[in-house]
Amino acid sequence: MRYEQPLEMCEKMKAAGAHCNLITVEGAPHGMDHWERHPEFLRYKKALIEWLDKTLN
């Protein structure tokens, strides 16, 4: 997957009236399988928890 694909998908979702937020993790490989070994990639967790808290409450 190239980086532009999720950007395009998010724009199309917004154009259709849906909500879309992207969390960009600089330098991280596609897929989260090995991110735990790299603390610099883990900021997505805080952002995800904040989004879930805001969305579900």
Residue 28: what pLDDT? 86
In percent, the amount of the chain with pLDDT more than 70 equals 98
| Parent domain of 46 | 24-57
Sign of CA pseudo-dihedral 30, 28, 53, 14:
negative
> Could you tell me if 1 and 8 are in contact, meaning their C-beta atoms sit under 8 angstroms apart?
no
23-49 pLDDT, tens digit per residue, is: 888 888 888 888 888 888 888 888 889
Residue 16 falls inside a structural domain: no
Residue 6 falls inside a structural domain: no
Residue 57 falls inside a structural domain: yes
> Could you tell me if 42 and 36 are in contact, meaning their C-beta atoms sit under 8 angstroms apart?
yes
pTM over 0.75: no
> Could you tell me if 1 and 30 are in contact, meaning their C-beta atoms sit under 8 angstroms apart?
yes
Total number of residues shown for the chain: 57
